[in-house]
Amino acid sequence: MKLKQLLEGYAWERNSDGSLPTLADSTTKHEQNIKEQSEFDEDGHFGIPFEHDNAVVHAFNRVVASYRDATKGMDGDQAYSVSQQLAEFFT
């Protein structure tokens, strides 16, 4: 493989002028990525507007309540088995 092919490939993300980014450039970009990843809205959702679907929330709460009723008195292994069956059902 020729050096020119390596340099023209996607081995590095080059600046618009063709130069390679400096360590400072890479550090700044990394800090921006970390900041973007840690930005949550007031409801604790990551970076996207979110509206609750009341029907879905109600159905989920009914499933959780039914799970709690069904596993009342079970040991941990039995309750885990029921949760796995529920997970398979919903996937």
> Residue 61 CB: number of other CB atoms within 10 A?
10
Q: What is the mean pLDDT of the chain?
A: 78
Q: Taking 60 as the threshold, does the pLDDT of residue 51 lie above it?
A: yes
Mean pLDDT of the 46-51 span = 62
Q: Taking 70 as the threshold, does the pLDDT of residue 77 lie above it?
A: yes
**What residue type is assigned to position 17 of the chain?**
D
Mean pLDDT of the 49-59 span = 79
Domain ranges in the chain?
Answer: 20-50, 54-90
pLDDT greater at residue 12 or residue 29: 29
CA quadruple 87, 52, 56, 71: dihedral sign = positive
Longest CA span, the chain? 69
CA distance 90 to 39: 30
Q: Taking 80 as the threshold, does the pLDDT of residue 50 lie above it?
A: no
Please give the pLDDT value at position 91. 78
Judge contact between 43 and 51, C-beta under 8 A: no
